[in-house]
Amino acid sequence: MTRCPKQEMWVRYAAAELADRPRRALAAHLESCDACRREVRALARGLEAMERLEREPALRPEMLETLHRRLRVAAANRPQRPRVITLVARYGWVAAAASVLVAALVLNLPKPTAPAVLPGNHQAEAIQEIAAAIELLQLAENGTTPPQPQNLFPGDRTNELNLLLDLDDAGLLLDYLMSQDRLQG
């Protein structure tokens, strides 16, 4: 038998407030757990008991009459505002939220940039470095001991690349290499 779900889950189950998937999981648990079945039965009995109350008790006509009268007085005393102001007061939040969304979308659109052109022999060198970086990441992912960075990246960039490998993000590494080449170019 699997571990029993929390009592609160059974409340939601008995009250039919769970989505299909968790509901099915709990139903499967019930098939093998007497204690939880008893629990759910008790909760369902509690809910059934509530159903014996009158959900919409009749109101005295005098009370309803008074209520209507008071509501009419309140309506008459409402400040007369143009409909547009009422709509703005009620739905203004929708317009505000939409504006923020549109602004966020516009500001996040990628700005057109000129393609990066790497000078002469830097291009081939950069491609080699990128391929090596990807290979290194794949090896690290597979749990294989990566080769020593100095074999792949000669020169003084070894330490920087080791730091970047910690980020475990090939995208960042590629960006980094490209920017370095651009700077040097």
Residue 138 sits in the site that holds another protein (CB under 8 A): no
Among 19, 35, 59, 107, interactor with another protein by CB under 8 A: 59
Question: Do the Cβ atoms of 10 and 36 come closer than 8 Å?
Answer: yes
Question: Do the Cβ atoms of 47 and 40 come closer than 8 Å?
Answer: no
Phi, psi of 29 (to 5 degrees): -65, -40
Residue 63 sits in the site that holds another protein (CB under 8 A): yes
- Spell out where the chain has E strands: none
Among 4, 32, 72, 172, interactor with another protein by CB under 8 A: 72
* Per-residue binder mask for another protein (CB under 8 A), 86-125, x = binder: x--xxx-xx-------------------------------
Distance, CA of 42 to CA of 84 (rounded, Å):
53
Q: Largest Cα–Cα distance of the chain, in whole Å?
A: 95
Count each helix (H run) and each strand (E run) in the chain, helices first: 9, 0
For another protein, which is the closer residue by CB, 37 or 70? 70
Residue 60 sits in the site that holds another protein (CB under 8 A): yes
* Residues of this chain that bind another protein (CB under 8 A): 7-8, 10-12, 14-15, 17, 42-43, 45-47, 49-50, 52-60, 62-64, 66-68, 70-72, 74-75, 78-81, 83, 86, 89-91, 93-94
